[in-house]
Copies of this chain bind each other. A is one copy, B any other.
Amino acid sequence: MINYPFQKNDKLNKNINYKNKGMFLEEVINNTNEYYKDRNIALIYKKPTPIQIVKLSYDKKYIEKAFFKEKSTTDYNGIYKGKYIDFEAKECTSKTSFPLKNIKEYQFKHLLKVDEFGGIGFIIFYFSKLDKFYILFIQEIKEYIDLNPTKSSIPLDYFLKKNHEIILNLNFSIDYLKEIDKIIH
């Protein structure tokens, strides 16, 4: 039994806020999903962040106090060419490797389940200092960890070897479905 090097799940992570959530990556993926939707290519949405409501207004029409909660799944899911698509987007500032502690254990497990059920599960990685975007499918991530159980990060070389780079377009979108095409054809 491998002790996966992911971040353990927290019930309520009070450090979630907008500042450290990688808004650029999120914007790029939202742009891309809108592009896909407008052109009838795919229906993929970001799930809203769940909140824990502490207090509602007296008329229950608005929230007076709430905390951000952690999701039990991933950020994005939807449908493309009849296939169920499910992914997470992750950013790192390292130029040489992606730290596995940036991935939550429940996200990894959820994506493995998606794969097991016949869906397509993956992570989009954004190396912000390199301005590079890569995909790894969940089985590729698992393969790396299973073969390198003592490593706490995935080296850039592994991303290059797996060869799913996605290019940032001028309209700030990334055509990540072209990598999905490679595995469903």
Contacts and interface: CB of A to CB of B under 8 A. Distances in A.
Interface of A: 14-15, 17-19, 42-43, 45, 47-51, 54, 56, 60-68, 72-73, 77-84, 86, 110, 113-114, 117-119
Nearest to A119: B79
A67 B73 contact: no
Contacts of A79: 84, 86, 114, 117-119
User: Which of A14, A60, A110 is packed against the most chain B CB atoms within 10 Å?
Assistant: A60
10 contacts: A18-B56, A18-B60, A45-B72, A47-B47, A48-B51, A64-B65, A77-B78, A79-B117, A82-B84, A84-B119
Contact of A63 (B48, B50, B63, B73): B63
B84 A19 contact: no
Given A62-B66, A62-B68, A64-B64, A80 B47 contact: no
What is the copy number of this chain in the assembly? 2
A56 B17 contact: yes
User: Which of A79, A84, A114 is packed against the most chain B CB atoms within 10 Å?
Assistant: A79
Contacts of A50: 48
User: Which of A48, A50, A80, A117 is packed against the most chain B CB atoms within 10 Å?
Assistant: A117
A17 to B, nearest CB: 4
Contacts of A68: 61-63
Nearest to A121: B79
Contact of A83 (B64, B84, B113, B114): B84
A14 B56 CA distance: 13
A86 to B, nearest CB: 8
Contacts of A42: 117
A65 B63 contact: yes
A15 B59 CA distance: 10
